[in-house]
Amino acid sequence: MLYDRLALEIKKSNRTHTPFTLLFIDLDNFKEVNDSLGHDYGDSLLKEAASRIQECTRESDMVARLGGDEFTVILPEVSEELVIERIANDIIKSLAKPFYEHDEKMYISASIGVSMYSVDANDLATLLKNADQAMYSAKNAGRNQLAYFTPDLQTSLIHRIRLSHEMREALSKQQFFVEYQPIVELSSNRIYKAEGLVRWAHPFRGLLLPSEFISLAEDNGLILEIGDQVFKEAANQAKKLRDSGYSDFQITVNKSPIQFLRDDFLYKAQMEFMQKIGLSGDAIVLEITEGLLLQTQPIVAEKLAYFNSNGIELALDDFGTGYSSLSYLKKFEIEYIKIDRAFVCDLEINEANKSIVEAVIVMAHKLGIKVIAEGVETVEQKDILAGMGCDFGQGYFFARPLSSEKFEEYLRFAGELFGFCQTRGAPKV
């Protein structure tokens, strides 16, 4: 019906030379609500959201649900920004009000993309695509807002398509490599862990950081192969360090939820790879996110258990920024939590963050979980964390992520530089 009506509006607009507007609405965080409170709850919430959207529109407008948590609104003969903004903001405000369903109170928000016929697009498919892209830019700008389609978005789409092509080539030409950032044991200043962080040595764009390509790699699926290269490179590095005397060295590897959900065979091959090079499972720690633990598909728990049975430990990354649910910590065998750097960056002055960090450490220890603080940048932060009994620290104060050569050098000389005592059994410098 939406497509029929759009085709009709396009004809009308062509005849009368009057533009019309399409809104593309996506509910923020709906998936989390659905996963945590159940599908019945999600269904009622969608119905309530639909009727709220309808209340903000006129009789002659059309509200449609495209699927999932996506809605569209056709605003015939509307093209003045003031009117569009009033309607879109009414919708945003109305959806930001609490939802009461099944005795639960929940908040969601909405991101809205705006595209106009025939200003931004000359056909139905382009109009929908542009509104969708505008919606994504509203999401990227921090959600709970509206964004207009602009030709820039088109350019960024073209950029993504190009980068996607280059990524395939990068995989075969080994342009991805891993840098290592030390993780320091705060009670002893010993370094026997490091996080592996992927980089892309792009032939003409320079060194690209994960923020510039991981989300694209997740969208186009290449994250599976990139992740596989990262895993093997990290495993080889761990083997090399263990063989050269750092006998309990561990390297942590980031794994995005997409890798858990879409990978059917690489993960088993990775375990075989470790066996082949003679590396025991406890040399690798997987860093996962809370979002993954919220997934209800049995395959997630199965894979986590599989890794566990191979001796691989799990760390919960970016703790404190998501659900931070205690029940997940108990349900899965989590060995470490990594407190997000948002809580660490102002520890010296922010009493609230200090209390949160302290509480997280106490709670984790009660559950038998070790704590790694991320983003430690100053000696004061390091001392506060050590005083609270935090187990490990990671951040620019100790070192930035380093190439494997620089990292090995760092391990050898960190002892002298900072008075760090090196890994048991490590060569003395």
Q: How far is the CB of 52 from ligand C2E (least distance, A)?
A: 35
Query: Residue 313: which region, alpha, beta or left (left: phi > 0; alpha: psi -120 to 50)?
Result: beta
Which helix (H) or strand (E) segment holds residue 25: the answer is: strand 20-28
Does residue number 395 form part of the binding site for ligand C2E (CB under 6 A)?
A: yes
What is d(CA 191, CA 422) in angstroms, rounded to the nearest whole number? 6
Q: In the chain, what is the straight-line distance between the N-terminal and C-terminal CA atoms, in Å?
A: 75
257 binds, among Ca ion, ligand C2E, none (CB under 5 to 8 A by kind): none
Does residue number 210 form part of the binding site for ligand C2E (CB under 6 A)?
A: yes
What is d(CA 132, CA 110) in angstroms, rounded to the nearest whole number? 13
Phi, psi of 288 (to 5 degrees): -120, 170
Q: How far is the CB of 79 from ligand C2E (least distance, A)?
A: 41
Tell me the H-state helices in 1-118: 2-16, 30-37, 39-55, 81-96
Does residue number 254 form part of the binding site for ligand C2E (CB under 6 A)?
A: yes
Task: Using the CB atoms, write b or e for 399-414: b if 16+ within 10 Å.
Answer: bebbebeebbebbeeb
375 binds, among ligand C2E, Ca ion, none (CB under 5 to 8 A by kind): ligand C2E
Does residue number 227 form part of the binding site for ligand C2E (CB under 6 A)?
A: yes
Binds ligand C2E (CB under 6 A): choice among 271, 317, 364, 404: 317
Binds ligand C2E (CB under 6 A): choice among 60, 172, 211, 327: 211
Closest CA to 46 of 58, 62, 63: 63
Q: How far is the CB of 399 from ligand C2E (least distance, A)?
A: 9
Q: How far is the CB of 381 from ligand C2E (least distance, A)?
A: 9
Alpha-carbon dihedral 308, 312, 317, 319, rounded to 10 degrees: 50
Q: How far is the CB of 360 from ligand C2E (least distance, A)?
A: 16
Does residue number 183 form part of the binding site for ligand C2E (CB under 6 A)?
A: no
Does residue number 318 form part of the binding site for ligand C2E (CB under 6 A)?
A: yes
Which helix (H) or strand (E) segment holds residue 181: the answer is: strand 176-185
Q: How far is the CB of 84 from ligand C2E (least distance, A)?
A: 36
Task: Using the CB atoms, write b or e for 22-49: b if 16+ within 10 Å.
Answer: bbbbbbbebebbbeebeeebbeebbeeb
- CB of 189 or CB of 256, closer to Ca ion: 256
Q: How far is the CB of 318 from Ca ion (least distance, A)?
A: 4
Helix, strand, or coil (residue 24): strand
What is d(CA 238, CA 193) in angstroms, rounded to the nearest whole number? 9
Side-chain-facing half-sphere of 241: CA atoms under 13 Å: 32
> Do residues 335 and 315 touch, judged by C-beta distance below 8 A?
yes
Could you count the other beta carbons within 10 Å of the beta carbon of residue 261? 14
306 binds, among ligand C2E, Ca ion, none (CB under 5 to 8 A by kind): none
What is d(CA 75, CA 414) in angstroms, rounded to the nearest whole number? 64
Q: Please list every residue from 349 through 378 that binds ligand C2E, using CB under 6 A.
A: 375-377
Binds ligand C2E (CB under 6 A): choice among 7, 8, 96, 209: 209
What is d(CA 335, CA 405) in angstroms, rounded to the nearest whole number? 29
Does residue number 197 form part of the binding site for ligand C2E (CB under 6 A)?
A: yes
Which residue stretch of 121-129, 235-243, 250-258, 294-302 sits at the interface with ligand C2E (rule: CB under 6 A)?
A: 250-258
- CB of 121 or CB of 198, closer to ligand C2E: 198
Tokens standing for residue 98: 């609490």
- CB of 129 or CB of 382, closer to ligand C2E: 382
Q: How far is the CB of 322 from ligand C2E (least distance, A)?
A: 12
214 binds, among ligand C2E, Ca ion, none (CB under 5 to 8 A by kind): ligand C2E
- CB of 243 or CB of 383, closer to ligand C2E: 383
- CB of 96 or CB of 269, closer to ligand C2E: 269
State the binding string over 264-303 for ligand C2E (x if CB under 6 A, else -). -----------------------x----------------
Does residue number 263 form part of the binding site for ligand C2E (CB under 6 A)?
A: no
Does residue number 342 form part of the binding site for ligand C2E (CB under 6 A)?
A: no
Chain residues binding ligand C2E by CB under 6 A are: 181, 197-198, 209-211, 214, 223, 227, 230, 254-256, 287, 317-318, 341, 375-377, 395-396, 401
